[in-house]
Structure 1
């Protein structure tokens, strides 16, 4: 199951999220989304776990918990909608 994690402190790294979620089961991937131009975290990311049970336990346990001084939000990720590309003109 893929989870959406938001309200992250800009200093939180992918390894920080991996360690946090690993308490609940096998983490298969972690991605903190970064700004293309600055390379700085955008304050959200995605964590994927191998089992739905582990992911649901992580959601229940970690949603609204404090990480680096901020209450993070954890929920099941929704499928990305196909959006038309923005024109530069």
Structure 2
């Protein structure tokens, strides 16, 4: 039961970030999303051929309130010349 609760909490703490410009790295994502709360991890998917990320990431916060703030305030924000998409982790 505790494991299920922990998993549910982790899902509530994660947000999906899409339409990330390919030249942006994890540091830029961290700087943009850090004002909403402490970040536990950032997971970017990398293309092994081009060695660039695939244009999306998952940001996991320490607390769900930080994720909620990021959802409310970061969707469609201009980052690296593109409007990023921020949504719930599904």
State if a TM-score over 0.5 links the two structures. yes
1:13 aligns with 2:25: yes
Gapped regions of structure 1 (runs ≥ 5): 79-89
Any runs of at least 4 consecutive aligned residues in structure 1 with deviations exceeding 2 A, and if so which? none
Q: CA deviation at 1:33?
A: 1.3
Gapped regions of structure 2 (runs ≥ 5): 1-12
RMSD (Å), alpha carbons: 0.9
TM-score using structure 2 length: 0.82
Equivalent position of 1:58 in the other structure: 70
Look up the SS of the partner of 1:5 in the other structure.
strand
Equivalent position of 1:84 in the other structure: none
Equivalent position of 2:47 in the other structure: 35
What is the aligned residue count? 78
More helix by share: 2
TM-score using structure 1 length: 0.83
1:67 aligns with 2:84: no
Look up the SS of the partner of 1:23 in the other structure.
helix
